[in-house]
Amino acid sequence: MSSIPIAARQTRCIFLACTCIALNVLAGCQQSASSSDAQSTDTTSGYRIVTTTGMITDLTRQIAAEHANVTGLIGTGIDPHLYAPTRTDIRSIMTADVLLYSGLLLEGKMTDAFERVAESGTPTRAVTEHIDESFLLTPPEFLGHPDPHVWMDPAAWTKAAEVIADTLIEHDPSAADSYTQNTEGLIDNINLLDQYAERVLSTVPESQRVLVTAHDAFNYFGRRYGYEVVGIQGISTESEAGVRDIERIVDLLVERQIKAVFVETTVSERNIRALIAGAKARGHTVVIGGNLFSDAMGEAGTYEGTYIGMIDHNVTTIARALGGIAPEKGMSGKLGGHKEGSP
């Protein structure tokens, strides 16, 4: 359990009571099954780690293993750009021994609350903090802020694993060897995923290496694997696509003879459907190539509900839809609702 002294814990709770007021404003005092209820707390004993997105939660659970109790705030199919914490989330944050979040403003207004929690003495880290600034993309429509979707590049996301491991080792040095070993194994598996992605995505004809999605969550993915990425809404799902945006992308689909576009699990299909209709009106058939995971992973308990399964699904879906060669069940033969732990 936590080694924080009782007096320090009481001081922290008083400080966080003030933070709670700000969090309640963000939450609108709303209750939702989309947060902590969707990412259930592990039943292991140990100190308490609270994480935000599923991509962080999965890595943290693998690294912490039996040494900590991990609670993810943002569940399956939930958009972190628009997310507001519930009362349950606030309680989790207030009682956390370690708090891990993405950073780069992915969590929007919650970032201010996390910074206040850090000031209270709780170890609080943005898992993207070790990524060199020169690596980050800063599209003009994001008003000078970097694109936060770095997990779409598996090689970059290994840096997040390192930050998580460093944080846990600092908080619980008695289990340092376990954290180090778990992290090394996890990074090895992410590297295998990256190699698989390079291999199957390179089988798509060069003229078809255009990834059209609902919003610009795939820019790091595109840079890593040599794909042109076109998002209808821009980086944040808070933005709205206009008629000119739709017409511009329809022109691209027709001129380049792109045969597939992709929907996302956390974004409405409306604009993608408009693209398909617009291309059809001009005599070009475009189909939905599949449903991609962008800001959230798949259903909890499935292979797609893990970071590696999420990226495996995306890579395999994109390659097959755009004319490449990839196994139907993906890198490990687990795609298709495979429940973790089952044969």
pLDDT for 330 equals 97
Provide the terminal-to-terminal Cα distance of the chain, rounded to the nearest Å: 34
What is the per-residue pLDDT across 123-158, written as a single tens digit (0 to 9) for each? Answer: 999 999 999 999 999 977 667 789 999 999 999 999
Number of helical H runs and strand E runs in the chain: 10, 8
Q: Decide if 148 contacts 157 (C-beta within 8 A).
A: no
Closest Cα to residue 230, out of 174, 183, 286, 175? 286
H or E element in which residue 49 lies: strand 47-51
Segments in the chain below pLDDT 70: 1-45, 141-142, 233-242, 266, 337-343
Tell me the HSE value of 26 on the side-chain side, using a 13 A CA sphere. 22
CB-based contact 66:46 (threshold 8 Å): yes
Residue 115 has what pLDDT? 84
Give yes or no for a contact between 164 and 60, defined as CB atoms under 8 angstroms apart: yes
Q: Would you state the pLDDT for residue 14?
A: 39
Range 276-287 burial, b when 16+ CB lie within 10 A, else e: bebbeeeebebe
Q: Name residue, tokens 């973790």.
A: 340
* Domain spans in the chain, listed from the N-terminal domain onward: 6-192, 197-321
Query: What's the angle, vertex CA 230, arms to CA 226 and CA 233, rounded to 5?
Result: 145
Rounded-to-integer distance, Cα 124 and Cα 331, Å = 34
**pTM of structure:** 0.84
Specify whether the CB–CB gap between 204 and 324 falls below 8 A.
yes
Dihedral-angle region of residue 50 (phi above 0 means left; psi in -120 to 50 means alpha; beta otherwise): beta
Could you tell me the fold of the domain covering 6-192?
Rossmann fold (3.40.50)
Q: State both tokens at 181.
A: 């070993």
Q: Residue 48's pLDDT is what?
A: 97
Question: Which pLDDT score is estimated for 28?
Answer: 44
Q: pLDDT digit string (tens) for 4-41?
A: 444 444 444 434 444 454 445 444 434 443 444 444 44
pLDDT at 172: 98
CA distance 149 to 315: 16
Inter-residue contact 253 to 226 (CB < 8 Å): no
Q: What is the pLDDT of residue 91?
A: 87
CATH classification number, 197-321, choose in 3.90.1150.10, 3.90.420.10, 2.40.30.260, 3.40.50.1980:
3.40.50.1980
Residues 59 and 190: beta-carbon distance below 8 Å: no
pLDDT of residue 82: 74
Q: How far is the C-alpha of 251 from the C-alpha of 230, rounded, in Å?
A: 12
pLDDT at 266: 66
pLDDT score of 36: 40
| φ/ψ (deg, to 5) at 241 | -85, 140
Burial class (CB in 10 A: 0-12, 13-18, 19+), 103: buried
